[in-house]
């Protein structure tokens, strides 16, 4: 694919989510300046983030770029997933400088994502709390009212996930209270998504337990697991470190309201 030729850094080429959209595995939209010979592209991983790749436009094109972001991308993001927030991973200093200028009127800020990687067995440091159970994720779980709205942002179909993804759910009696599943798949690399649905179920180690089960399944299938979280999310980083993720690399992310 011609868009792949625009990936010039090792971090771009190793970004599981970016590759998953370009390869057509996970939901996304690719915008190019020229469909025949693209020099730049914007890759939108629905519900996650935007990636600006390829050549950086000169200053004469900045106004056009701003119109594209705050009109076309805004409308598409809202239509596809109700998105109202612009979040762009910046692998190039040139794109960082341009987007900071283009989005300055929106009060854009630069934060950092931390991407962790691990491919070894892990074991929770305590047993599953009484009243909870762990189940391998199936189609019925994916259709659950709590799970489905975000699940369909990442996957074209439940069938695709069942064929390629890995997932676990934590249940309290018959209610799903926590999930951990592949939200992006690029060959043997999987980006994991994890969520606990209510405050009442947080702080009990459920996310740690579900993630440990997920990672052990990854190890059995020779899958490299990746987990990306923003640097300021201390709770998420604690879970990552507890289950053996370490030495994350940081990527600047420009964020603002559309």
Q: All domains of the chain, ordered by start, with CATH?
A: 2-115 (3.40.630), 117-247 (3.40.630.30)
For residue 187, the Cα-to-chain-centroid distance in whole angstroms is 16
Whole-angstrom distance, CA of residue 44 vs CA of residue 123: 35
- Encode pLDDT of 101-126 as tens digits: 999 999 999 999 988 876 555 555 55
- Encode pLDDT of 138-154 as tens digits: 999 999 999 999 999 99
The Cα angle at residue 116 between residues 95 and 107, in degrees rounded to 5: 35
Estimate the crossing angle of helix 234-242 against helix 206-220, to 10 degrees: 50
Rounded to two decimals, the pTM is 0.88
The pLDDT of residue 205 is above 80: yes
What is the structure's pLDDT at 120? Answer: 54
What is the structure's pLDDT at 121? Answer: 55
- Encode pLDDT of 13-69 as tens digits: 989 999 999 999 999 999 999 999 999 999 999 999 999 999 999 999 999 999 999
């Amino acid at each position: 694919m011609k868009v792949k030729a625009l990936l010039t850094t090792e971090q771009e080429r190793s970004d599981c989510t970016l590759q998953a959209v370009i390869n057509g595995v996970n939901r996304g939209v690719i915008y190019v300046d020229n469909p025949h010979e693209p020099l730049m592209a914007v890759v939108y991983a629905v519900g996650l983030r935007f990636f600006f790749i390829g050549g950086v436009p000169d200053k004469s094109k900045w106004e056009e770029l701003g119109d594209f972001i705050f009109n076309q991308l805004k409308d598409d993001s809202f239509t596809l997933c109700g998105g109202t927030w612009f979040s762009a991973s910046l692998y190039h200093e040139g794109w960082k400088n341009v987007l900071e200028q283009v989005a300055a009127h929106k009060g854009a800020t630069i934060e950092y994502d931390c991407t962790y990687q691990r491919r070894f067995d892990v074991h929770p440091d305590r047993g599953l709390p009484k009243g909870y159970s762990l189940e391998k994720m199936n189609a019925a779980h994916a259709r659950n009212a709590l799970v489905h709205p975000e699940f369909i942002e990442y996957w074209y179909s439940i069938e695709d996930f069942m064929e390629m993804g890995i997932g676990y759910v934590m249940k309290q009696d018959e209610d799903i209270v926590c999930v951990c599943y592949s939200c992006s798949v690029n060959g043997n690399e999987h980006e994991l998504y994890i969520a606990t649905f209510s405050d009442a179920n947080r702080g009990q180690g459920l996310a740690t337990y579900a993630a440990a089960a997920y990672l052990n399944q990854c190890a059995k299938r020779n899958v490299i697991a990746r987990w990306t979280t923003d640097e300021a999310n201390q709770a998420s980083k604690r879970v990552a470190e507890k289950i053996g993720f370490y030495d994350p690399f940081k990527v600047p992310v420009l964020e603002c309201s559309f």
